[in-house]
Structure 1
């Protein structure tokens, strides 16, 4: 007997909308190794079936709309205190640390030109709002992609979804700022600051040792926030979206490193073939591989959700059966579609044109 959502109290080991006698695995160790391997193989199949390479390319378009204005806003905000050139240098330094060399080259001239433009305060406010909006558009595109992966429709109302995306954008901006600080505060910079403030050398060595692990943790936090809030899916526990976050961060770091090596060796050839566009091409390639890593991590999380339901005895081999977070908007959409289908059937039966 299947208990429908809301049919009764949800006791230990039960989930709404799932059979009461089949609890889902709660920890990673509760899921058998063969189901972990099954989830990995299903993830590979889903990446090919859903054409995730193309989905990542679509996300790259929204990423360009969000990332470039964000850099320009940072430059113009800091230019009010007379640090425009140093801000550009810091941004380019961070980009050179995490992205292929062509990315910093492509953004050098636009950022320096924008630093000297001196936008009026009202124009800057409008530009900030535009940047936040484009970032939320990126999250909206990512949410639609993840909904497709989880085989659910977007059911959150339009009055609820945008605030969630704006808050997620704010959290990601804070994470990005923290990652930038961790990248900038290297041994040389920390040594200078430590000498001025009289910080013991032992603490400076501890900071330098913990800087990269902290950067990894912040990256994992950002990816987990995205996987938690973007799709219209009711996650039973955050621990089951951490594997996808680990995979996304690992793939993104590895792909960035390989692309850096490729750009360093082939940049002369790219410059001969594409001229000033070579830096833009490398930037787009980097954004694409990072988005592809994010998509693949989301696919792994979806397949782990499937594997957990299979372990509970649910027929999830064809359908995900992952409960949606909200169904109000999707229910209205389904009702409209049924109405159109019935109208089309009447036209077919009556022969109306």
Structure 2
């Protein structure tokens, strides 16, 4: 439903029944422009509120929920990647398994290599090289990933303290589109980390030989890959920052004046991801060799690392929300209770308001007869 000309956008605060006005997009752009840099007292308030919200919003529980949806994506994604690799290598299953083994040897600590190899090959051993396996696994992976994105959106709206305002159909379509972009970005991120001389030769040599392009493959493997080894980590960090920024900008029902590639929250999320990876690697290198149940320990460590990183994602988003609140307070807005960033949609919020009033009226009608 279109908003009347001159009427301010409205949001429905979380678990409340009264709509609240927010500035227009143009007004909010002026607010942000005039208060880009927070003062010391504002930063103190941001940190205090983030700390309080961590416990009040049960961030650890939210991280566990997101971890569950992450795991739903893991198996079909592995099968899809295996099927793609098999097709690229001219249906050469042996070459694909050799490539998987080499990649695990490059990126997994020696103590966990056997466990990782067994887990991956156990998942894909029944996949075969059929195209239908690829199609089904990709569809299942996208469906599971969309469940993750939708759950992230619900948590993001709760962090901003507002109900979803976009129309349900629009929300579903937006979440599916975002899921596709995020999954594609995650594939590019994984490819940037896994790309090496062996991958280049195994993937491109079967295509290059009939075309007489063996020299180009040698150039890629011998000249480009040594340089790529030095730049792939910065590229991976940048890709990770873009993926986090996409989640932070499009999942909650908030519309900032411009797309924020870089924010306090995205920096914290990316740095937190690096620390989680370093901690997981250190655990696998040190403790797996001390435990008789190293395989179980490695799986549990991976789950805990995934859980911690999902918590970090929530904390980063909470930081962005509280920074927005502090800017609004410095600009003189009444944002102590409600963050006033304009919404992406209002129709669902109005419907929820009306339903809430109907339920309250129905409840008031129940009582002792006079």
- The bucket for the TM-score relative to the shorter chain is 0.7 to 0.9
1:182 to 192, 217, 222: 192
Distance (whole Å) between structure 1 residues aligned to residue 216 and residue 60 of structure 2: 49
Moved more, 81-90 or 49-58: 81-90
User: Are residues 1:137 and 2:162 paired?
Assistant: no
Partner of 2:31: 24
Moved more, 183-192 or 257-266: 183-192
Partner of 1:320: 339
1:108 to 117, 130, 138: 117
TM value normalised by structure 1: 0.82
TM value normalised by structure 2: 0.78
Deviation of residue 330 (structure 1)? 2.5
Deviation of residue 200 (structure 1)? 11
User: Are residues 1:236 and 2:236 paired?
Assistant: no
Partner of 1:153: 163
Per-residue CA deviations over 1:250-302 (Å, capped at 9, x if unaligned) read 01111221232123222245x43x56433321221121122112111111111
Partner of 1:345: 364
Q: In 1, are the aligned partners of 2:109 and 2:281 still within 8 Å (CA)?
A: yes
Distance (whole Å) between structure 1 residues aligned to residue 325 and residue 105 of structure 2: 39
Q: What value does the CA root-mean-square deviation take over the aligned residues?
A: 3.6
Identify if the C-alpha distance between structure 1 residues 267 and 31 changes in structure 2 by more than 3 Å, giving closer, same or farther: same
Partner of 1:7: 6
Q: In 2, are the aligned partners of 1:23 and 1:312 still within 8 Å (CA)?
A: no
User: Are residues 1:279 and 2:286 paired?
Assistant: no
Identify if the C-alpha distance between structure 1 residues 158 and 144 changes in structure 2 by more than 3 Å, giving closer, same or farther: same
Q: How many residues align?
A: 342
1:210 to 231, 237, 250: 231
Moved more, 251-260 or 194-203: 194-203
Q: In 1, are the aligned partners of 2:264 and 2:319 still within 8 Å (CA)?
A: yes
Partner of 1:245: 266
Identify if the C-alpha distance between structure 1 residues 299 and 153 changes in structure 2 by more than 3 Å, giving closer, same or farther: same
Partner of 1:51: 58
Distance (whole Å) between structure 1 residues aligned to residue 180 and residue 30 of structure 2: 36
Q: What 5-or-longer segments of structure 2 have no aligned partner?
A: 10-21, 205-214
Distance (whole Å) between structure 1 residues aligned to residue 29 and residue 216 of structure 2: 61
Deviation of residue 105 (structure 1)? 5.5
Partner of 1:262: 283
